[in-house]
Amino acid sequence: SIALMIFFNLTSGVVLVYFSELSTSLNLYEIHKQFGVFILLLAFIRLFWRISHRYPKLSELPLSEAILANFGVLLMYALMFAIPISGIYFTQSYSHDVHILNFKLFQIISPQPWAVSLQFLFLHKYLAILLAALVAGHTLAALKHHYLDRIDILRRMLPNLKRQKK
């Protein structure tokens, strides 16, 4: 699932930053880049699916919480595009290629001075931190609604769970 790929890439990003020797020996940088491109491709498919299929309204939630939930989902979708794109821009602006399954991704941006590349890296890093915080908040809210408010939202988010009968 795309969520597991995002979790892997957030985790591998932390390893790339704080454990550079380990990440070099595992060729983690290349794996991280390829997963990022896959996430971007899957985000397009997921967005198409989301637009073409209707989702039930969050009628069980107070209006303010429903608005926050919808905004959070919208922001997560935006980040599923912005993070991989900023990573591609960083990599290519730093004169490196991005490959997916041994195919070189077409050049989006020409090599740039290090100061420009650094801005893309900064954007990539802090958008990823924002996504991690958003996912944590979204998860905590879902658990709160499920266990404290007794609203069956968690089962709606995880379709393999059986719905509770009222």
Give residue-wise pLDDT tens across range 43-92: 999 999 989 988 777 778 889 988 998 899 999 999 999 999 999 999 99
pLDDT above 60: residue 124:
yes
Compare 165 and 126 and report the one with higher pLDDT: 126
Give the chain's radius of gyration (CA, Å). 18
Q: Is 18 among the domain residues?
A: yes
Q: Is 162 among the domain residues?
A: no
Q: Is 96 among the domain residues?
A: yes
- pLDDT for res 67: 92
Give the DSSP letter string of the chain. Answer: -HHHHHHHHHHHHHHHHH-HHHHHHTTHHHHHHHHHHHHHHHHHHHHHHHHHS-----TTS-HHHHHHHHHHHHHHHHHHHHHHHHHHHHHHHTT---EETTEEPPPSS----HHHHHHHHHHHHHHHHHHHHHHHHHHHHHHIIIIIS--THHHHHSTTSPPPP-
- pLDDT for res 1: 81
Q: Is 113 among the domain residues?
A: yes
By residue range, what is the domain housing residue 121? Answer: 2-157
Report the candidate in 123, 45, 136 with the shortest Cα–Cα distance to residue 84.
123
Q: Tell me the whole-structure pTM to 2 decimals.
A: 0.88
Please give the average per-residue pLDDT across 123-149, as a whole number.
Answer: 93
- Angle of the 28-52 helix axis to the 63-93 helix axis, nearest 10: 140
Q: On the CB side of 147, how many CA atoms lie within 13 Å of its CA? A: 6
Please give the average per-residue pLDDT across 133-158, as a whole number.
Answer: 85
Q: Would you place residue 161 in the very low, low, confident or very high pLDDT band (cuts 50, 70, 90)?
A: low
Q: Is 166 among the domain residues?
A: no
Q: Is 59 among the domain residues?
A: yes
Q: Is 163 among the domain residues?
A: no
Compare 154 and 147 and report the one with higher pLDDT: 147
Q: Is 165 among the domain residues?
A: no
Structurally, how many domains does the chain consist of? Answer: 1
- pLDDT for res 94: 93
